A and B are shown apart, each in its own frame.
Chain A
Amino acid sequence: MAQNGNKQVFSPWTDPSAKPLIQFKNVTKKFGEFVAIDDLSIDIFEREFFALLGPSGCGKTTLMRMLAGFETPTTGTILLSGQDISPIPPNKRAVNMMFQSYALFPHLSIWDNIAFGLRREGGSKDAIAARVEDMLRLTRLTKFARRKPHQISGGQRQRVALARSLAKAPKLLLLDEPLGALDKKLRQDTQFELMDIQEKTGTTFVIVTHDQEEAMTVASRVAVMDEGRMIQVDTPDRIYEAPNSVYVADFIGEVNIIQGSASQSGDTVDITFAEGQPTIRGTTDKKFANGEKIAFAIRPEKVSISAEKPDDMENALQGKILDIAYLGNISTYHVELPNGQIIKSQIANTRRISRRIFTWEDTVWVSFTDTAGILLKV
Chain B
Amino acid sequence: MRRFSWFNATALTLGFAFLYLPMLVLIFYSFNKSKLVTVWAGFSTQWYGELFRNEAFLDAAINTLKVAVISSTIATVLGTMAAYVLIRSGRFAGRTLFSGMIYAPLVMPEVITGLSLLLLFIGIGLDRGILTIVLAHTTFAMCYVSVVVSSRLMTFDRSLEEAALDLGCSAFEAFRLVTLPIIAPAVISGWLLAFTLSLDDLVIASFTAGPSATTLPIKIFSAVRLGVSPEINALSTIMISVVAVGVISASLISKRAAVQQKRDEQAADRAAG
Q: Which residues of A contact B (CB under 8 A)?
A: 68-70, 89-92, 95-97, 99-101, 103, 105-107, 116-117, 120-121, 148, 150-156, 164-165, 168
Which of A107, A155, A156, A164 is within 8 Å of B167, CB to CB? Answer: A164
- Structural contact, B163 and A103, CB atoms closer than 8 A: yes
Residue of B nearest to A149 (CB): B268
Residues of B within 8 A of A103 (CB): 157, 159-160, 162-163
Query: 16 interchain pairs (CB within 8 A)?
Result: A68-B166, A70-B162, A89-B165, A92-B168, A103-B159, A105-B163, A105-B182, A107-B182, A120-B169, A148-B264, A151-B268, A152-B268, A152-B271, A164-B163, A164-B167, A165-B167
Residues of B within 8 A of A168 (CB): 167-168
- Structural contact, B167 and A117, CB atoms closer than 8 A: yes
Distance between Cα atoms of A20 and B182 in the complex (Å): 40
- Structural contact, A90 and B165, CB atoms closer than 8 A: yes
Which of B159, B164, B273 is within 8 Å of A101, CB to CB? Answer: B159
Which of B160, B265, B268, B272 is within 8 Å of A105, CB to CB? Answer: B160
Q: Which residues of B contact A (CB under 8 A)?
A: 157, 159-160, 162-170, 173, 177-178, 181-182, 261, 264-265, 267-269, 271-273
With both chains docked as a complex, state the minimum distance between the C-beta of B75 and any C-beta of chain A, in angstroms. Answer: 24
Q: Given that A105-B160, A120-B173 are known contacts, is A153 also in contact with B168, CB under 8 Å in the complex?
A: no
Residues of B within 8 A of A90 (CB): 162, 165-166
Distance between Cα atoms of A343 and B159 in the complex (Å): 46
Q: Given that A91-B168, A150-B268 are known contacts, is A99 also in contact with B173, CB under 8 Å in the complex?
A: no
- Structural contact, B272 and A150, CB atoms closer than 8 A: no
Which of B157, B169, B264, B271 is within 8 Å of A150, CB to CB? Answer: B264
With both chains docked as a complex, state the minimum distance between the C-beta of A103 and any C-beta of chain B, in angstroms. Answer: 4
With both chains docked as a complex, state the minimum distance between the C-beta of B46 and any C-beta of chain A, in angstroms. Answer: 50
With both chains docked as a complex, state the minimum distance between the C-beta of A229 and any C-beta of chain B, in angstroms. Answer: 26
With both chains docked as a complex, state the minimum distance between the C-beta of B187 and any C-beta of chain A, in angstroms. Answer: 13
With both chains docked as a complex, state the minimum distance between the C-beta of A233 and any C-beta of chain B, in angstroms. Answer: 26
Interface centre among A69, A96, A99, A154 (most CB of B within 10 A): A99
Known: A69-B165, A90-B162, A150-B268. 17 other contacts (CB 8 A): A69-B166, A89-B165, A91-B168, A96-B166, A96-B167, A97-B166, A99-B163, A103-B157, A106-B182, A107-B181, A117-B168, A120-B167, A150-B261, A151-B268, A152-B271, A152-B272, A155-B272
Residues of B within 8 A of A97 (CB): 162-163, 166
